[in-house]
Amino acid sequence: MAEKIVLGLSGGVDSAVAAARLRAQGFEVHGLFLEVGLGGEEAAQQTADDLGIPLYIAHRREAFEQQVCAYFADSFRNARTPNPCVVCNPLIKFRALTDYADEIGAPYIATGHYARTGRDAAGRALLLRARAPKDQTYMMHRLPRKTVARCVFPLGESAGKDEVRENAREIGLAVADKPDSMDICFIPDGDVHGWLERHGAACPPGNFVDEQGNVLGRHKGIHCYTVGQRKGLGVAAEGRLFVHELRPETNEVVLSLEDVFRKEIEVQNVHYIAPEYAENGAFSCEVRVRFSKRSDRATVYPDGDSARIVFEDAVRAPAKGQSAVLYDGDIVIGGGFII
């Protein structure tokens, strides 16, 4: 008898190809669409019908608004730069998948993420970087190890999105050329500032100041800026200005002629997928301070659910609220929020 697997089915090309690959591998695939008030059920149902798999609708709108949207708005109010997917994956998306998998007796769950899993010498589950340049493990570093142990990522060995789209065309999937989804699913038009204003999270205008406190001009609200930003400032100076710091307590945006680099950062609410790395104190690894391909060598000094990270070379613009994600080669160790 085929083993059951619950796949997050969004109606996009990645999850559709993931479903087709799982079915070809002999799994009994059950689709799950996460309904959070953004629509898309029809596209997911069409894909499920095309593939001949059942689709379950998991209603999580209230939880999504309370745990993801509220976090997003609160971050901007407090001059932090949020990563909504980092919060959504463990609290909403993968929880819905595991809940339904438990309900129907499916040992595995799957998504169309570009990531891989493996086991170490002791048989413990590992979350691994994807083979493709579009590695999405940065957004998944807060998953519990027990969840990772159940995960299957059919796109993890893919060369990239072009290969996946070509695979979709070969299969005859209608979504083969469907545009990619937006980075922030609940802001489909990309207007973050407009969304914040509509949700009462926009901050009032205030002063641009230099590092000595001299007023340089007026800003539109600290929610419009992030550390390291250099475009859209509208302040004349003798050289290019950078956002050096955000001060919510005084509603000031600090500008500097010097770019922002840090040799050391602190993180809190650290989550370890592979806690054995931190069991004996400080350890060396690679660290990503934003969702990008770049990693920097550093030493991590764990301290309970916090940690101090000291880089070999200073890194550019680590922003408060972003995640610092720890890697040992392809292995995702874990990560925390930059403070």
The set of catalytic residues is 88, 185
| DSSP state letter for 260 | P
Q: What's the order of all strands across the beta sheet hosting 206-209? A: 215-219, 206-209, 252-256, 242-247
Q: Cβ-count burial of 17 within 10 angstroms (0-12 exposed, 13-18 middle, 19+ buried)?
A: buried
Are residues 307 and 301 in contact, defined by beta-carbon separation less than 8 angstroms?
A: yes
Q: Cα separation of 184 and 68, whole Å? A: 11
The H or E element containing residue 30 is strand 28-35
Q: Which amino acid is at 208?
A: F
Q: Cα separation of 319 and 83, whole Å? A: 11
The H or E element containing residue 196 is helix 192-198
Q: Cα separation of 285 and 274, whole Å? A: 13
DSSP alpha helix (H) spans, the chain: 13-24, 41-51, 61-64, 70-77, 84-88, 94-104, 145-148, 161-171, 192-198
Are residues 193 and 224 in contact, defined by beta-carbon separation less than 8 angstroms?
A: yes
CA 314 to chain centre: 23
Sequence-distant (≥ 6) Cβ neighbours of residue 166 within 8 angstroms: none
